[in-house]
Amino acid sequence: MKKTTIVIVALAGVLSLGGCKLTDHRQHHFQELLNSYVDDHGEFSVGNANDHNTYMTGPVSLSPDKVRELTIDWFNDSITVRAYDGNEVCVSETSDTILDDSLTLHYALTSDGELKVEFCKPGVKVKAKEAPAKRLLVLLPRTLRLEEVEVNGVSQSLTMDSISCEKLELNSVANFVVLNECRVGHLESNSVNTYSMEATFSQLPEDIELNTVGSSATFYVPADAGMTIDMNGVVSDLSCDLPLSRKGKKHVLGNGACKVEVNSVSGTLYIKQK
Angle at 146 between CA 145 and CA 151, to 5 degrees: 130
Confidence (pLDDT) at 47: 59
Confidence (pLDDT) at 14: 41
Confidence (pLDDT) at 40: 47
Confidence (pLDDT) at 33: 47
Q: What is the CATH number of domain 45-273?
A: 2.160.20
- Residue 224 burial (10 A CB sphere; 0-12, 13-18, 19+): exposed
Blockwise average pLDDT, block size 10, the chain, 274 residues: 35 43 47 48 58 82 97 90 97 92 92 93 79 93 97 84 97 83 95 81 95 87 95 81 92 96 86 94
Q: How many CB atoms lie within 10 A of CB 176?
A: 15
Confidence (pLDDT) at 181: 97
In the chain, ranges of CATH 2.160.20 domains: 45-273
Which pTM does this prediction carry?
A: 0.84
Confidence (pLDDT) at 127: 76
